Structure 1
């Protein structure tokens, strides 16, 4: 049986560890051990834990940035596109929340992370900017009302998806969130009622 390439094993191990114990408690030493390689081998592929975190976001989580890149104004319905975005964003934030929450609990770790990804085009602002770009294009096509603050609309949609992940991951008793498809459709419909 062929073993996966080292880089794939490293990213898989980082994903599993970051998901189960969080970014703060995950070390490169633990990642290398779980991947069945040396820590030196890990550093052949990645500059450190911060780069690995960004790679996990890009390669192992539901596509959000790629989906937003592919949107074209005038294609499909705005409601259908927003529903699709809400569905993917809710899944993305649901899976990233346990990983990234530790960043905000430890200011030193957050600073190290920000320095570590300084040259990498990443961050929580990117999906908002990309959705804003799409909504402005729809505004230009006449499918979003003139005068609407598209950045605020993008922030509302993605913020609601992030809040869903936060609210239901911290509820005592593990109450499940509303069904994803219902949530996404209702969110898109409600937002569209205000901007179309």
Structure 2
């Protein structure tokens, strides 16, 4: 059997440990042991646990950041509703899978502060998807597909905030079941579009089938 490259084994082990014991308790020593390498070997590929965490999010979870980057680079592609629906779908899946990893940080205030300080040094953090979506919406605004007076930062915060809430808010309901991701994403996108799209581009109520 072909052995996976060390970097891949480290990412796989980090993902598994962060899911099972949480980010706060997944140490680089334990990750290296699970990957079958030394801790020194781990640091050949990743400068810190925070960088490893960011790479796990980018390479093992739904690819929200690459999607936002590609859309920002080429505004005007596809329809705005289709793009927002796909963003909402990827974001809902991303938060659903990342919440169990990061949740343990919120139980330890000092650890969370140190972790966020380290993330800021490498230009990352939970705010970055909001900033990326805001940048995409501003690019669409410049292209005339978002209303000139629309608050793009607020729109980005609303969309991603709803997707993040889906990751945990429905666990307390009687069924404990999250809304299915595809209709959830479509409804979010359509509702947001009603507030930010130019008036002449918004379909009249009843023109589209609802999920």
TM range (shorter): over 0.9
TM-score by length of 2: 0.87
**Which residue in 2 is equivalent to 1:36?**
36
**Which residue in 1 is equivalent to 2:138?**
136
Deviation at 1:145, TM superposition (A): 1.6
What CA distance in whole angstroms lies between the structure 1 residues aligned with 2:161 and 2:43?
35
Deviation at 1:46, TM superposition (A): 2.0
Whether 1:86 and 2:88 are equivalent positions in the alignment is yes
Count residues with an aligned counterpart. Answer: 195
TM-score by length of 1: 0.93
Which ranges in structure 1 are unaligned for 5 or more consecutive residues?
none
CA deviation vs aligned residue, 1:64-107 (integer Å, no higher than 9, x gap)? 11100111322111100000000000011111101111222211
**Which residue in 2 is equivalent to 1:45?**
45
Counterpart secondary structure, 2:14: helix
What CA distance in whole angstroms lies between the structure 2 residues aligned with 1:40 and 1:129?
34
2:64–2:91 CA contact under 8 A, matched in 1: yes
Which ranges in structure 2 are unaligned for 5 or more consecutive residues?
198-211
Alignment of 1:152-171 (within 5 A): 152-168=154-170, 170-171=171-172
| Shift in alpha-carbon separation, 1:27–1:173, aligned structure 2, 3 A | farther
**Which residue in 2 is equivalent to 1:66?**
66
| Shift in alpha-carbon separation, 1:138–1:102, aligned structure 2, 3 A | same
**Which residue in 1 is equivalent to 2:200?**
none
What CA distance in whole angstroms lies between the structure 1 residues aligned with 2:101 and 2:4?
24
Deviation at 1:183, TM superposition (A): 0.2
| Shift in alpha-carbon separation, 1:172–1:157, aligned structure 2, 3 A | closer
Deviation at 1:43, TM superposition (A): 2.1
Q: Give the structure, 1 or 2, with the largest relative contact order (CA under 8 Å, sep 6 or more).
A: 1
**Aligned structure 1 segments of 4 or more residues deviating by more than 6 angstroms:** none
